[in-house]
């Protein structure tokens, strides 16, 4: 029986969903949403806070500040509340209402930028606001999930070894690309341990992470309007780009089977399905996809028919997914 004294001490590391009965796809979905922060972002947030405390960067009067589209903000809100830090989360209009309310319930001050930057979109606008706050007062401490090495180190220490233990004969691993912390931590681990695992990054159409043209994106989580400084493409074997209507379709299909997952999970599963359809060639592969979060925070958006209709209109036939091969 687990007994904890701090919320970050609990995390379900070994829960997988076999998606074959649900989607007729031969893959296992690693569920990372069963902790008090509700997402995989708890691992990176806890590691980054712990290391900042060890280094003496965080003090009693420090004010944490971070840019987040949602899940990382919730994780930091939880940690800040437990440890007694003030926290300002800088987000934007795409942040799910439920996510914002959750952060505010934990005592976080939430600031939403109103206008995207002309070149870097909402992410660049958020980062500019964070920099302005840090320049205005030395008490502001920015852990910076977009450049902090402990973002990927957290998954190198936990997520990847856990997958390796449960799947000693893993063939392919599908990971969503946001800050690329999870992607780089897992990819580095399998490369360094000599495991012949194909690492496939899944990103959303409109993201510039892998060099694609920027487009408006309405589902928070994966994708970025500014290139990631954590990303080393040499560790990535393949990339699949998923249009948002396909994310919505997969989320609804999973929900129809009783599995309510978040938008990032829908994107990863959609990309994994497409990659497996193209590369399996009748052979059985052991495949794992990482699910970053659950779906409760998306009830007002991608699970709301009026929101989907307003944002995407009559999508018609869904745009085929695009695979960009990185290595043979």
The residues spanned by each domain of the chain are 7-35+149-325, 41-142
Please determine whether the domains at 7-35+149-325 and 41-142 fall in the same fold group of CATH: yes
* Burial per residue of 305-318, b for 16 or more beta-carbon CB atoms within 10 angstroms, e otherwise: eebbeebbeebeeb
> What pairs with residue 103 in β-bridges?
none
User: What is the arithmetic mean of pLDDT over 29-49?
Assistant: 97
Domain 7-35+149-325 part of CATH 3.40.50.1100: yes
Question: Beta strands of 168-222 (E only): which ranges?
Answer: 172-176, 198-204
Specify the DSSP class assigned to residue 197: P
Lowest-confidence segment of 17-26, 116-125, 191-200 by average pLDDT: 116-125
Dihedral of alpha carbons 146, 147, 148, 151, sign: positive
Q: What is the pLDDT of residue 47?
A: 97
Q: Is the dihedral of CA 177, 298, 109, 46 positive or negative?
A: negative
pLDDT at 185: 98
60's CB contacts (< 8 A; 6+ apart) are 84
Mean pLDDT (whole number) for 58-75 = 93
**What topology is assigned to 41-142 in CATH?**
Rossmann fold (3.40.50)
| Global pTM value | 0.92
- Tell me what the pLDDT averaged over the chain comes to: 91
**Is the pLDDT score of 205 beyond 90?**
yes
């Amino acid at each position: 029986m687990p007994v904890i004294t701090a919320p970050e001490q609990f995390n379900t590391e070994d829960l997988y969903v076999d998606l074959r009965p649900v989607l007729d796809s031969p893959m296992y979905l690693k569920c990372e949403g069963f902790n008090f922060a509700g997402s995989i972002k708890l691992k990176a947030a806890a590691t980054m806070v712990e290391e900042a405390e060890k280094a003496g960067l965080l003090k009693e009067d420090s004010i944490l500040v971070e840019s987040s589209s949602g899940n990382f903000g919730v994780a930091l809100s939880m940690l800040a509340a437990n440890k007694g830090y003030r926290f300002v989360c800088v987000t934007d209009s795409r942040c799910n209402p439920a996510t914002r309310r959750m952060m505010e319930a934990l005592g976080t001050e939430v600031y939403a930028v109103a206008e995207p930057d002309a070149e870097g979109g909402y992410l660049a606008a958020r980062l500019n606001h964070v920099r302005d706050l840090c320049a205005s007062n030395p008490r502001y401490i920015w852990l910076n999930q977009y450049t902090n090495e402990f973002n990927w180190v957290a998954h190198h220490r936990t997520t990847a070894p856990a997958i390796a233990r449960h799947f000693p004969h893993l063939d392919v691993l599908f990971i969503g690309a946001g800050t690329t912390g999870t992607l780089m931590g897992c990819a580095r681990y399998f490369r360094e341990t000599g495991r012949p695992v194909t690492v496939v990054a899944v990103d959303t159409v409109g993201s510039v992470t892998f060099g694609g043209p920027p487009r408006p994106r309405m589902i928070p989580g994966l994708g970025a309007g500014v290139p990631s400084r954590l990303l080393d493409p040499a560790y990535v074997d393949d990339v699949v780009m998923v249009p948002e209507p396909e994310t919505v379709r997969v989320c609804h299909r999973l929900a129809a089977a009783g599995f309510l997952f978040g938008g990032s999970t829908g994107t990863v599963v959609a990309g994994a399905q497409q990659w497996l359809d193209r590369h399996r060639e009748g052979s059985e592969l052991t495949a794992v996809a990482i699910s970053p979060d659950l779906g409760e925070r998306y009830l007002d958006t991608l699970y709301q028919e009026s929101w989907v209709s307003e944002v995407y209109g009559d999508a018609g036939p869904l745009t085929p997914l695009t695979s960009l091969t990185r290595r043979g």
